[in-house]
Amino acid sequence: MNKIKYGLSAKKIISGIITFFCILHVFAKSNKSVTPDSEAAVKALAGVERKAQKPTEGVYYSLFVRSFADSNKDGIGDLKGIIQKLDYLNDGKDETTTDLGVTGIWLLPIFPSSSYHGYNVDDYYDVNPEYGTLADFELLAKECKKRGIALIIDMTCNHASSSNEWFIKSRNPDSPYRDWFRWVSDEDAAKGLVNLKQKVFGHNVWNVELENPGKTSDGKDNYYYYAGVFDPSMPDFNLDCRAVREEFKKIFKFWMDKGTTGFRFDAASHAYNAAELKIGEKGLEKAVGFWKEMNDYIKSVNPDSYCVCEVWENAATRARYIAGVPSNFQFDLGGQIASMINNQEMNEKQNLAEDADGSAYNGYARSLESLYQLYSSFNKDYINAPFLSNHDQARSAALFRNKADKMKLAADLYILTEGIPFVYYGEEIAMKSGADDPSKRTPMLWKPNGKDKNQTKWTDHPLYSSANRYNMRTESVAEQQKDSDSLLNHYKRVIRVKTAHPALFRGRLKAYSLGSPVIESYVMDCDEEKAFVIHNVSSMNTVDVKLPDDLNMPMVYAANPAAKIENGTLSIPPLSSVVLASRK
């Protein structure tokens, strides 16, 4: 009896071992790493080897934590929600194609704040409790690092919150924090040092403090006023104060120790706003000096760090700030690209002839080269930061009349330029907005409306609910993942080619005309590689152009698979791009 039982048990054990190894074999086979297929990636979505590795290389993704992903079903996006969605942004595996492929993330403000947007900071050393904890942030940074994702956070050095402890203490004229903010008095105004009636953005710059007025020499009340260029709830720092500068360095170090690889500096061109300066002060020079000091300190802590400034000004002014922080956002690029594409379509539909003699061709490429030369004159190590739209602008889909082919070309036109492109969350699925700020920051659409536990619901509040109407028909990530021809999958492709080729993420641009009024083309060159980028902005016609012998290189990207090279002639379909490249 025992022998029979023993025999049956042995058979079961042997059978179990065989089954285990069969399952293990199948599992190993199904999870075997697939070598990236750069040849297939030329005309279709396929894995490629990512070579952009540093925080100063690649493509960044800008996201509003409140709207991105909700992990605890309270309706508000949080840091744990981002962690759950990291594999969508970049899973760390070159061979896969389910992720977007970005190499960096910029988090809009994460600090405690009384506002939904977070740009008035109550405490620079903590996380908004609606978003999570410092431990959650450290975990996010750790998970980003595992995937090769750089992480930068929004930093507001221009102003704090009126609820910030430093500002509350500064209300006392005898406080050591008094000099941390810009305070003036009736007496200063009487001396002509300041104009208390100065207005910016439709409101007063100077806000009266009715408590504890001082006395003038003749015994009259001498009221005090603090500067708030953006809003009375956002008192402006006095950046001439050495204690303020040293405090910000402590703040930078604090967050870098927790895994941050850099910062996006908010309102950089307002650091010494002319509206709040005393007579004779030179704001721009002081601002550039301040940002250079901050950037130099950050680089001393981490030489590979990346910082970028918001300088929403004309190109000449932006270039001046490049001397302080080498990277600035290229504002108005989205409008420039939209005008070029839409005007070309209108001209073609109206059969308007191109009467240029050829000297006016390649205008987009030439404008980029001119801008970069301007930047270089102030800092040869500049890093351009192009984008289509951001959290302060109406979403870019409207610029391109919600047409997918235009949005795909627009993606190529900015991502395949110099520097670090920034993709605003939801732009890759053509999310839409109105002109008001809440509608520009509505919930990320992971699945069709009403079918996603991670979709945030903070805009269901009566104050913001009208913002929800803009994306009722927008196709979600889940829907676009299944469509090989979707805008989302196009973004995956162009981001992959950008991060796979050193000439594209490290190279300098030089315009190179192919003699066609509808072709925009330029060479991207670095020590390792040369690339030739060609865009057909025609909405109707395939264009054939003869390639110069020295630029007749292998095709590494064709947005439209119908693109081809035969006998040195490139045939490029309408509203599409091609990249040729060769290692040196």
Write the pLDDT tens digit of every residue in 293-330: 999 999 999 999 999 999 999 999 999 999 999 999 99
Check if the beta carbon of residue 576 is closer than 8 Å to that of residue 559: yes
Place of tokens 């500064």: 170
Give tens-digit pLDDT for 468-485.
999 999 999 999 999 999
Q: Which pLDDT belongs to residue 221?
A: 85
Q: Please, which residues have CB within 8 angstroms of residue 279's CB and are 6 or more apart in sequence?
A: 192, 193
Picking from 64, 264, 253, the residue whose alpha carbon sits closest to that of residue 158 is 264
Both structure tokens of 216: 């003038």
Residue 423 DSSP class: E
Both structure tokens of 265: 């500096």
Check if the beta carbon of residue 83 is closer than 8 Å to that of residue 139: yes
* SS3 labels along 147-171: HCCEEEEEECCCECCCCCHHHHHHC
Residue 356 DSSP class: -
Q: Which pLDDT belongs to residue 451?
A: 81
- Diameter of the chain by CA atoms? 116
Q: Please give the Cα distance from 283 to 378 (Å, whole number).
A: 18
386 Cα distance to chain centroid = 8
Q: Which pLDDT belongs to residue 483?
A: 97
Q: Read out DSSP for 236-278?
A: BB-TT-HHHHHHHHHHHHHHHHTT--EEEETTGGGTT-GGGPP
Please state, as a whole number, how many other Cβ atoms lie within 10 Å of the Cβ of residue 339.
12
Q: Which pLDDT belongs to residue 217?
A: 74
Q: Which pLDDT belongs to residue 23?
A: 37
Q: Please give the Cα distance from 389 to 428 (Å, whole number).
A: 12
Check if the beta carbon of residue 307 is closer than 8 Å to that of residue 324: no
Helix (H) or strand (E) holding 215: strand 206-215
Place of tokens 């601002």: 287
Model confidence at 168: pLDDT above 70: yes
Picking from 206, 316, 307, 321, the residue whose alpha carbon sits closest to that of residue 269 is 321
Model confidence at 5: pLDDT above 70: no
Residue type, 23: I
444 or 202, which is more confident: 444
Between β-strands 199-200 and 262-265, what pairing exists: parallel, antiparallel or unpaired? unpaired
CA distance to 291, 318, 402, 566, per residue, from 284 (Å)? 11, 11, 39, 53
Helix (H) or strand (E) holding 520: strand 519-525
Catalytic residue among 99, 186, 266, 345: 266
Helix (H) or strand (E) holding 372: helix 363-378
Q: Which pLDDT belongs to residue 452?
A: 86
Residue 263, CA atoms < 13 Å, CB-side half-sphere: 28
Q: Which of 16-25, 155-164, 206-215, 521-530 has the lowest mean pLDDT?
A: 16-25
Total-model pTM = 0.92
- Measured over the CA atoms of residue 5, residue 9, residue 10 and residue 11, the dihedral's sign is positive
- Measured over the CA atoms of residue 465, residue 469, residue 472 and residue 477, the dihedral's sign is negative
Quote the mean pLDDT of the chain: 91
Residue type, 207: N
Q: Which of 199-208, 389-398, 562-571 has the lowest mean pLDDT?
A: 199-208
Picking from 339, 317, 458, 356, the residue whose alpha carbon sits closest to that of residue 401 is 339
Q: Which pLDDT belongs to residue 359?
A: 67
Q: Which pLDDT belongs to residue 29?
A: 34
Q: Which pLDDT belongs to residue 218?
A: 77
Give tens-digit pLDDT for 244-295.
999 999 999 999 999 999 999 999 999 999 888 887 788 899 999 999 999 9
Residue 12 binned pLDDT confidence (cut-offs 50, 70, 90): very low
CA distance to 47, 72, 124, 160, 301, per residue, from 254 (Å)? 37, 27, 10, 18, 11
Residue 3 binned pLDDT confidence (cut-offs 50, 70, 90): very low
266 tagged catalytic:
yes
Give tens-digit pLDDT for 97-145.
999 999 999 999 999 999 999 999 999 999 999 999 999 999 999 999 9
Phi-psi region of 568 (alpha: psi -120 to 50; beta: other; left: phi over 0): left
310 tagged catalytic:
yes
Residue 412 binned pLDDT confidence (cut-offs 50, 70, 90): very high
Catalytic residue among 57, 310, 369, 418: 310
Both structure tokens of 175: 């406080």
Residue 219 binned pLDDT confidence (cut-offs 50, 70, 90): confident
Q: Which of 95-104, 181-190, 424-433, 501-510 has the lowest mean pLDDT?
A: 181-190
Both structure tokens of 438: 């809440």
Q: Which pLDDT belongs to residue 61?
A: 98
Q: Where are the alpha helices (DSSP H) in 392-442?
A: 404-415
Q: Which of 116-120, 209-213, 230-234, 414-418 has the lowest mean pLDDT?
A: 209-213
Q: Which pLDDT belongs to residue 214?
A: 80
> In b/e form, how buried is each residue of 467-488, taking b as 16+ CB within 10 angstroms?
bbebbeebbbbeebbeeeebbb
